[in-house]
Structure 1
């Protein structure tokens, strides 16, 4: 179908532009007997560069008192598609099922993912003392403790949940603890910076058209995530056992 072909290429192009990346091409084999008509199989990888004169940001500088800034997502992003397909299969009208706001479920699932490359570039070019960065993808807010450090990440504020994600987890019958360790639930990216610098990171996010807020702080304590607004605690062991998005 030419419309699907064109939509795929258009989205790929927009993603490259957003990320400031170059797509170097790749193999486009025909695999009859393996990939059926109207289906598509995609695989990809990306290579990035650490700016000259900077060390890779791997969490070594994380410390108690650091502020956690959460940057909003636009919806499903890259994780939760299997769950979405399972839910759609159970709905009488499938992907055409209207959300409470009126949009079709399937249309909302395809909302453009937010790419945070521009924000990261701005953070690295600023005077903000960035100690860690974490992309909130599969395993949801468990990713807040992705750094292998014995620290507690206490969150007192959460971004609003996109309507499509709220509908998805409700239809799947997921409790808050399960939902927040499966899909992003409105948080697409986390910035950890020195105490007192979170609001400047929020300002930079706003300049890039992104909603963000100072969500909490890093504390001394065992490796865990405390989500105060929903009364959920994730322990270190949950990181290994969380269901895949």
Structure 2
């Protein structure tokens, strides 16, 4: 597996995915409403916002757990994947400055299995508790002809004042970038991770570097960042940008609307699990940073004079939060 296209060789063609999304966007652009659109223009952002009343919008996002479920099924441990499902949705909704309120889940399964579904429900309930949201309903689809195993996804909505939307357009050169640690891979890059680590015993700790069994490290749930971010948004801190670091790594900062660049000069420590994947899969450093969060799960952009207060608030929830860089005037460029 070459270091240049390890992800593609493991079965994920990002170029094809980009083309597929472009096709979807073209088709959806032909929707005829018969009325003015209520959508707030936020192209490429983490969540969509629809105006529902004067100065009130609902933020919408949808996501799933992905191939982390393959490992969860293999290890017979499905009681945490619901946390991942909640996290991937609510962490996107907060990026526009919204407070998540509720989520609907969608479980596609080959055949209904009460034990499997209850285990998934345990995680969903735990995730909802951590995020402070409700799960008032959902869907269970038995798709034996299409699905082998189970897939878990969801759709989340929250509310945001239209004049309080955080889209990143106010990010300015000199602003501080604060990083909040991830718990591990979160819910991205598992196809490559599994290919890279193939042959290793999931019940053992390779080389003793992880401090726990490999399978346990891989299934560590995605961190839910809702409470500290909502607390920050309600404070006097002038939040200029919020980015959930998923596939694409810190390049996700480019989804913010401002014509600026980002210099990551003091990255958070890289957990040993990422080093293990890179070594075993012969994955180059550049590709690792393009696919994985590399230890940073969320970023906050604030004016430099708000940096200390921001760190104080975030560290009350996540002690490892730290300044990782600054905003530059090199538009569209992320440097590490």
Q: TM over 0.5: same fold? A: yes
- For the pair 1:22 / 2:129, whether they are aligned, the reply is no
- For the pair 1:48 / 2:158, whether they are aligned, the reply is yes
Unaligned 5+ residue runs, structure 2?
A: 1-112
Aligned match for 1:143, one of 233, 252, 264: 252
Q: Deviations over 1:38-68 (max 9, x none)?
A: x112221111211x47421001211111110
CA–CA distance in structure 1, aligned partners of residues 169 and 331 of structure 2: 16
Matches within 5 A, 1:165-244: 165-227=274-336
Counterpart contact for 1:133–1:190, Cα < 8 Å: yes
- Residue 4 of structure 1: CA displacement? 4.4
- Residue 186 of structure 1: CA displacement? 0.3
Q: Mean Cα displacement is larger for which, 134-143 or 40-49? A: 40-49
Unaligned 5+ residue runs, structure 1?
A: 228-245
CA–CA distance in structure 1, aligned partners of residues 292 and 172 of structure 2: 27
CA–CA distance in structure 2, aligned partners of residues 43 and 75 of structure 1: 20
Counterpart contact for 1:153–1:219, Cα < 8 Å: yes
Counterpart contact for 2:263–2:328, Cα < 8 Å: yes
TM-score, structure 2 as length reference:
0.62
The corresponding residue for 1:231 is none
CA–CA distance in structure 1, aligned partners of residues 200 and 327 of structure 2: 45
- Residue 16 of structure 1: CA displacement? 0.6
* Count of aligned residue pairs for this structure pair: 222
Provide runs of 4+ in structure 1 moved above 6 Å: none
3-state SS of 1:27 partner: strand
The corresponding residue for 2:199 is 91
- Residue 33 of structure 1: CA displacement? 2.0
3-state SS of 2:253 partner: helix
Higher relative contact order (CA closer than 8 Å, sequence separation 6+): 1
Aligned match for 1:110, one of 206, 219, 227: 219
- Residue 86 of structure 1: CA displacement? 1.7
- Residue 226 of structure 1: CA displacement? 1.1
Counterpart contact for 1:161–1:185, Cα < 8 Å: yes
CA–CA distance in structure 1, aligned partners of residues 116 and 319 of structure 2: 28
CA–CA distance in structure 2, aligned partners of residues 71 and 114 of structure 1: 10
CA–CA distance in structure 2, aligned partners of residues 64 and 209 of structure 1: 26
Larger % of strand: which? 2
- For the pair 1:133 / 2:242, whether they are aligned, the reply is yes
Aligned match for 1:78, one of 159, 178, 187: 187
Counterpart contact for 1:199–1:214, Cα < 8 Å: no
TM-score, structure 1 as length reference:
0.83
Counterpart contact for 1:91–1:97, Cα < 8 Å: no
CA–CA distance in structure 1, aligned partners of residues 211 and 264 of structure 2: 32
CA–CA distance in structure 2, aligned partners of residues 70 and 92 of structure 1: 31
